[in-house]
Structure 1
Amino acid sequence: MAEAMLYDVVVLGAGMAGLSAARSLAETGRRVLVVEARDRVGGRIFTRRAGSETVELGAEFIHGRPAELWALVAEAGLTTVERTGDRVVFSGGEVCVDEDGAEEEQEDDPMFAPVEALKDYAGPDLSFADYLESSGVAPELRGAALGYVEGFNAADATQASSVALGAQQRAEDEIEGDRLWHIEGGYDLLPAFLAERIRASGGEIRLNTAAASIDWQPGRVEVRTSAGHFRAAQCIVALPLAVLQAGGVAFQPQPAGLSTALGRLREGPVCRFTLVFRTAFWRSKPEFEHLSFLLTPESRPGVWWTAHPGESATITGWVGGPRALPLLELADDELGARACTILAEAWSLPMALLRAELLGVHRHDWQADPYALGAYTWLPVGALDAPSAPETLAQPVEGTLFFAGEHTDTTAHWGTVHAALRSGLRAAEQAIAAPRFQNLRLF
């Protein structure tokens, strides 16, 4: 076997966490290698071009105003569009339009009010389901709140931490997290920009290269992959939570406390798909002219959104948490037929018309993807008990191993692109600050 190639730092994973870490390190002159199992960069940012349409199969929105993410968007010269428009609820055969629903106050909405109240919750950590019962929310109102928490967080409400949900709500308020933007031309332009900056600074990115194991001792790492061995003084592990939980990469030796910390977190399932139509036919009806979000609470999916204020003739359906699992079993044509049935009823249009207008169904099963094994992280009861699981994972290991990814975020923004980006920047800073970084010529 050929001699292993030598680097200062090997980064596992070319999602936003790994790319942001590698970019920071490469621009300081470090010899950096990014190892990525996929044939592309971006991780769970995955954009598909379908004719004239740009379809997001993973992350789609910029949530609020996270400083690091907006700084990167500006540096890359990308254009963003804020999501505006109406929230429409179709329930019991009736259509209710909340004009400019994105700006609507949520404290009195039965779907959002119990979650908003968690911002001030100071009691013991309960599951969200138990919290609803103990806080006296009327049984007939619990369903909407449970559905919201499970759908938005891809979580099981019978296990999801009420303390973590409260921390998340406070964190979102700090950045106006209820406001949404998308990147014109596709979210994948952002990881592509980072990859270009890494290469321009002398870093390497190896695609189609799956890491199998990490043999390490303080100040020395050997990463074994499908394309050979790579040695370095340090390694940043920026792989998804569920991949690490499944033992997708073996550590020799296993860092103390790693398995326990990983086991205190969960990766949730999501079924999201985008329907591409010939025309944005819904705009022909006055009540849907400015449609942004459509809620169909009696159906699955129960959450939909258009590209408003853009002109794209697409509608995305979303189900998160345990209720997503049955839909993930459906074939694309079955999912398309189910969606058209729900939407035809909401718009009082013939089913045949929608089927004729439908050009395609686009989706990616993140649960079945061996390099993801889930959509994003949620926290069960006890995950924030000191020391919290994210805080444990964010700690350097002997100045040699560093972990990044949205599951390692310590600012309560789990499950977001900006959490992944921020974690990569943090891991790079830790690697640079480690004392062993001054003595890298070890091989």
Structure 2
Amino acid sequence: MAKLPPGDQEVGTRSASHPDPQHPAAETGAWSRRDFFKLASAATAGAVLPAQAAGKTAGRGDTDYDVVVVGGGFAGVTAARELSRRGARVLLLEARNRLGGRTFYSSFGDRKVELGGTWVHYTQPHVWAEVMRYGMEIVETPGVAHPERVMWLSEGKVLELPVQENWNLLKDALDRFHEQTPEVFDRPFVPRMKEAGNRLDHLSIADRMAQMKMSPAQRDLMNAMMATNCHGHVSTAAYTEMLRWWSLVDGDAVRLVYSCARYKLKAGTSALIDRMTADGKFEVRLSSVVAELHQDASRAALVTEQGERISSRFVVMAVPVNTTGLIDFQPPLRAGKQAMAREHHAGKGHKVYIKVKGKLDSLLFFAPETELFTMVFTEQAGADGGVLVAFGPPTDGKVDINNPKAVEPFIRKFLPDLSVEQVLTYDWHLDPYSLGTWCTYRPNQFSRHVDDLRAREGRVFFAGADIATGWRGFIDGAIESGLQVGQQVAVALGANS
């Protein structure tokens, strides 16, 4: 497997040799959360600030701010930019040694790849506005934009139809699967479902699929699509989450696929984060892990794991909902926030870049969630080799997806003449600052917890892709939430000035 260069190596990214060659996991391929924590501490110890933040880091005694933003993903950076441009004194604390949150632009051989959130689309108004604002160049993913072949695995056999016939088969299932959308969401970007949605929220994707009449081939194709969308097993993800996606694309199956995986930033997600950070001119402290947050009627106080105490008028918590239980909040958070921290959302799958040897065309293939991967498409085509990007459900340790030889049998089911040379992935569910991939709610979480998740608590506001009203789990959702909370905090600052 490819190893990240020194400047890009991030804790939790495994290569053919473990980051520590003497570590027991180097031989066995096993890697525990405890290993991740140990490596995280070592890797962040020497982290430096990005260029735009250097030279303006306050001393340890200079700890009084208008707003402290906890979390340097797109939600936190957006909120910090909006508030600093309104004249607030803003400090952003990020636990990792980089900004970007669950986006991670890194190297794979001679290519740059996105190990986390990647794609953007003009159906996603908030991120598209930032793309236009900063003049970011867009490129296409060939296996999604222009696949020459589409295949899928069903009952152990590889099936292939002409691209349009395959699409018609999938579109028929998607249209019927989502037919209750108008009863649940009369329009996109609403914070709550209609009452019909609350009555349906106990259903999983698997429950809904069980209600539908489909051929085995169509059912396996649909399972592959849905397992990819929720990035987990279809029995763990809520049916209402997919209805929300459908409302965001006006019930257009083509637009749904393109919104999720067609367009990406040519210079990478890190380029957009850098532009937004430079535009905001707020203070950034990396490798700063918040351990405690206390508040009273007049101030909020944060304590980092390094023992630093920081005082602020208001706080924006822009961290994944899975991780809020790692911070000691006093007074405690609302019941819904605590429940989500215990339950976690359903996004627990993997994303893998696969370098292959042999002729690789622009193609797309699917497999049901019982297989290693559910959706694979061409990232880079080539006559002598190329790169695929693959998504799959949790492996539960049964297969080492960091081993090219463990991945190769799956690829050869579809493309028997190819060999797998390298793979690259990132274990977001082991990352202590994410504990999962993109957010897909489990059954009943939307109806039971969303109001608590979005609610302000005293001097603490909450932001993040996980609680967005629109493209939840996407870069767009993170920016949407950061914009909304930035406005809310600005109003609170004015009221308390």
TM-score range, shorter chain: 0.7 to 0.9
Alignment of 1:221-232 (within 5 A): 221-227=300-306, 228-232=308-312
d(CA) in 2 for partners of 1:316 and 1:139?
26
* CA displacement at 1:390 relative to structure 2: 2.8
Deviates more, 1:248-257 or 1:41-50: 248-257
Alignment of 1:97-108 (within 5 A): 98-99=162-163, 104-105=167-168, 108=171
d(CA) in 1 for partners of 2:483 and 2:123?
17
* CA displacement at 1:230 relative to structure 2: 1.1
Query: Does 2:378 correspond to 1:313?
Result: no
* CA displacement at 1:155 relative to structure 2: 3.9
- Quote the residue 1:162 is aligned against: 239
d(CA) in 2 for partners of 1:430 and 1:222?
20
Structure 1 moving runs of 4+ over 6 Å: 309-312
2:441 corresponds, among 376, 379, 383, to: 379
Question: Given that residues 323 and 341 in structure 2 are in contact (C-alpha distance below 8 angstroms), is that contact kept between their aligned partners in structure 1?
Answer: no
d(CA) in 2 for partners of 1:89 and 1:109?
17
d(CA) in 2 for partners of 1:100 and 1:40?
43
Change (3 A) 1:131 1:99: closer
d(CA) in 1 for partners of 2:317 and 2:267?
29
Change (3 A) 1:135 1:345: closer
* CA displacement at 1:72 relative to structure 2: 0.7
Identity of aligned residues (%): 22
2:146 corresponds, among 85, 108, 119, to: 85
Query: What amino acid maps onto 1:305 in structure 2?
Result: F
Query: Does 2:427 correspond to 1:365?
Result: yes
Alignment of 1:228-377 (within 5 A): 228-244=308-324, 247-257=325-335, 258-260=337-339, 266-277=345-356, 281-283=358-360, 289-291=361-363, 293-297=364-368, 299-307=371-379, 313-320=386-393, 323-326=394-397, 330=400, 332-333=402-403, 336-349=404-417, 354-355=419-420, 358=421, 360-377=422-439
Which secondary structure state, in structure 2, belongs to the residue aligned with residue 371 of structure 1? coil
2:276 corresponds, among 178, 194, 197, to: 194
Question: Given that residues 221 and 235 in structure 1 are in contact (C-alpha distance below 8 angstroms), is that contact kept between their aligned partners in structure 2?
Answer: yes
Structure 1: give runs of 5+ residues left out of the alignment. 284-288
- Quote the residue 1:8 is aligned against: 66
Which secondary structure state, in structure 2, belongs to the residue aligned with residue 117 of structure 1? coil
d(CA) in 2 for partners of 1:252 and 1:342?
49
- Quote the residue 2:188 is aligned against: none
Aligned residues: 409
Change (3 A) 1:419 1:138: same
Deviates more, 1:74-83 or 1:127-136: 127-136
Query: Does 2:468 correspond to 1:409?
Result: yes
* CA displacement at 1:282 relative to structure 2: 2.9
- The structure with the largest strand share of the pair is 1
Q: Deviations over 1:18-73 (max 9, x none)?
A: 00100101111110000001000001110112342011111121145211111111
- Quote the residue 1:206 is aligned against: 285
Query: Does 2:21 correspond to 1:21?
Result: no
Change (3 A) 1:295 1:256: closer
d(CA) in 1 for partners of 2:457 and 2:114?
35
Question: Given that residues 406 and 417 in structure 1 are in contact (C-alpha distance below 8 angstroms), is that contact kept between their aligned partners in structure 2?
Answer: yes
d(CA) in 2 for partners of 1:75 and 1:309?
31
Change (3 A) 1:299 1:158: closer
Q: Deviations over 1:242-295 (max 9, x none)?
A: 111xx2111011133432465676142111111234x6x334xxxxx332x222
Change (3 A) 1:316 1:37: same
Question: Given that residues 85 and 101 in structure 1 are in contact (C-alpha distance below 8 angstroms), is that contact kept between their aligned partners in structure 2?
Answer: no
Query: What amino acid maps onto 2:386 in structure 1?
Result: A
Query: What amino acid maps onto 1:339 in structure 2?
Result: V
d(CA) in 1 for partners of 2:66 and 2:494?
8
Change (3 A) 1:11 1:145: same
Deviates more, 1:65-74 or 1:27-36: 65-74
- Quote the residue 1:391 is aligned against: 451
d(CA) in 2 for partners of 1:368 and 1:158?
22
Query: What amino acid maps onto 1:26 in structure 2?
Result: S
d(CA) in 2 for partners of 1:107 and 1:93?
18
Structure 2: give runs of 5+ residues left out of the alignment. 1-58, 185-195
Change (3 A) 1:100 1:369: farther
Which secondary structure state, in structure 2, belongs to the residue aligned with residue 19 of structure 1? helix
Question: TM-score with structure 1 length normalisation?
Answer: 0.82
* CA displacement at 1:308 relative to structure 2: 5.5
d(CA) in 2 for partners of 1:62 and 1:397?
32
Question: Given that residues 241 and 267 in structure 1 are in contact (C-alpha distance below 8 angstroms), is that contact kept between their aligned partners in structure 2?
Answer: no
Which secondary structure state, in structure 2, belongs to the residue aligned with residue 192 of structure 1? helix
